[in-house]
Amino acid sequence: MPGMADSGTDWRLLDGVATAWFGATSLTEAAGLAERIVELSADIAVDVRATGVRVRLDSGEHAEAVSAAARELGLTADPAALQHLSVVLESANPPEVRQFWQRVLDYAPGEDGGLVDPLRRDPALRIRQSTEPRPLRHRIHLDVVRPTAAVEQVGLGEGSGPYGVCHSDPDGNEVDLVPGDPLGETPETADWQAVFSAVACYRVTSPTQQRDLTAAAAALADAAGFPLLIDLRPGLVILDTGKDRWEADAHGLDLDFTDLAEKIQTAARELGATPEPGLPRFVQLFLDAADVEAVRAFWLAVLGYAPDRRTGLRDIHDPRWLNPVLLFQELDASDTERRRQRNRIHFELAVPPDLAQPRLAAAIAAGGRLLDESTDRWRVADPEGNELVIVSGA
């Protein structure tokens, strides 16, 4: 990609996007790099974390300038931290299936015929033609949480399942479309939506406003000791706790997150940022398994994920909260036909070229099987046949 050649070894192509991770020791330090990047261009996707900053460029134009800014701030790139997880859906009827998921997710059409999150936060959905009959309920589904008004606008009607939120696309692929709630009942947190994560989205009108809100949110979160997630997109600042971490048992800190949410909301409004309460969205991936521990161990290893800190929960998550959460629930081991049927959904994991073989080795060591391989692609199965394609680079 033009412009990347001069930036040393900081950058890698993931899904065709120039991507880098620069380590940091605090949100404030990470926000310092984000502020420099915003000055270069408002179109760069920047994800600010307490441990570093992920930067994604649509071209290599600003790669060297971003790397130079990071060096000046004493931040070091770590390509080993980079990965990108997406969802692949095989369908006999891609147009109708695509229409269903576009409504559910509020995604935009992608260049490959799939769907992409316009905010570039939640996993892309690739839709590929398949004629293989797979009539049984399969072992992977998605949970999508959006504000209640947005869920009502989708208009899928009454759902099924124990919570009345399960819906199926024309091929039978399932989604739990869950209505979220306001974070609290007081005006002081009215900008925040609880969509499993607590999320507030703010529209900004200038790079200066975006920079100032990022700095203010980072400073307030650091002062509280809370590892807030801050994502910068053109004209937007998105503030996120990560799944459940606004709740005391999930974050395990000596604080009430609503107090921090109030302070951030006050700062945002004083800076003139406009809340967008309809934008928050949360997407997670659900796997059914007869041997949950064996399947979970595979995905922990191959994705480099971390387990939920809470006792009794089987969630696993990206330690940098840049890729979707995975959950596991027990499947009746006697349901052999359903277990034998190949899923209509699988995942793709893009990693830098030098990480592909280590990830493959981790998959095999954790009980996985190599099903086939081609140039820069390895298709593996977990102990119960759920599939992952490891993709090297672009």
pLDDT tens digits for range 312-361: 999 999 999 999 999 999 977 766 666 666 678 999 999 999 999 999 99
Question: What type of residue sits at position 315?
Answer: D
Between CA 296 and CA 294 the distance in angstroms is: 5
pTM, to two decimals: 0.95
**Tens-place pLDDT, residues 126-156:** 999 987 766 556 789 999 999 999 999 999 9
Reduced to 3 states, what is the DSSP secondary structure of residue 256? coil
Between CA 84 and CA 363 the distance in angstroms is: 16
Q: What percent of the chain has pLDDT over 70?
A: 94
User: Could you tell me which residue, 76 or 42, shows the higher pLDDT?
Assistant: 76
Apex 112 CA angle, 232 and 16, nearest 5? 50
Angle between the N-to-C axes of helices 63-72 and 27-40, in degrees from 0 to 180, rounded to the nearest 10: 140
DSSP 258: H
**Tens-place pLDDT, residues 364-374:** 999 999 999 99
Between CA 75 and CA 29 the distance in angstroms is: 9
**Measuring CA to CA, which residue among 276, 287, 281 is closest to residue 116?**
281
**Tens-place pLDDT, residues 27-51:** 999 999 999 999 999 899 999 999 9
DSSP 153: H
| Element counts in the chain: helices (H) and strands (E) | 10, 24
Residue 334's pLDDT is 65
The torsion region of residue 255 among left (phi > 0), alpha (psi -120 to 50) and beta comes to beta
Identify the helix (H) or strand (E) that includes residue 328: strand 326-330
Question: What type of residue sits at position 371?
Answer: L
pLDDT band at 218 (very low <50, low <70, confident <90, very high): very high
Residue 1 has pLDDT above 60, yes or no: no
